[in-house]
Amino acid sequence: MQSDNHAEAPVLFFDSGVGGLSILAPARELLPRMPVIYAADRAGYPYGTKSEAEIAARVPALLGRLVERYRPRIAVIACNTASTIALAAVRAALDIPVVGTVPAIKPAALSSKTRVIGVLGTEATVRQPYVDRLAAEHGADCTILRHGSAALVALAEAKLRGQPLDPEVARTALLGLIEQPDGERMDSVVLACTHFPLVQQELEQAARTLGTRPLAFLHGGEGIARRIAYLNGDLPWPETPAPGIAVFTGSDPDIAELRSALKSYGLTQINAL
């Protein structure tokens, strides 16, 4: 599946839902002429409550179909759960560069003063050996607290659809970290799900309500943007890129609710896969 190495070849962003928009945004800011395909696997959503075997089988096959159809120059798995489980298999299956999204434990460990770091992700992500390795390699002198929240994923989806938000969801997610031993000393929270930067404002408000010490919320969007630019190298971008395309698997009866949010990210065309 060779990518068409010309200016119009897009960058493919892939997630189970709309969380990957938090990765797309800094990439668009750094690379404004980048053509974009954003693929949301609504038929498989949510990934965070699925088994490792389900995700390991589904993600490489689906990305293979997307690459065959859209011929991207680079694929970005804009999903922590899919990356921590299926990144190696996807790289083995595709012959274009593949960028994964992994929890920002390294920058959190570099900046934490109290040496207590929270990792807030999906249930599937926070239990992965990949997270164990990151913690051992970059945060060996830190206490790493973990909490999985499917409800926070749903909150981010609801926010982009313009639906009413329950502040208790963000509060409960933070309490899942704070109420663990040493949780009151936590000063950094790694947003280990790409949905979660979309509700960072709600998490910050929850922290103020709970009266925690100041918390730094970290994620890897800007680093991924720089990685895309590096991998692209000298390949040209179009002077005026085509309108961005959002691709959805399965049916979504509420897709109209997302049109405004998708348009704000430059995704003006919606396709089905």
142 is catalytic: no
Task: Specify burial of residue 158 (Cβ count, 10 A radius: 0-12, 13-18, 19+).
Answer: middle
For 51-109, the DSSP string reads -HHHHHHHHHHHHHHHHHHH--SEEEE--HHHHHHHHHHHHHH-SS-EE-----HHHHH
Helices 167-178, 150-160: inter-axial angle, 10-degree rounding: 150
The one catalytic residue in 36, 76, 79, 152 is 79
Rounded CA separation 185/162 (Å): 35
The one catalytic residue in 12, 67, 170, 193 is 193
Start-to-end C-alpha separation, the chain: 18
Annotated catalytic residues are 79, 193
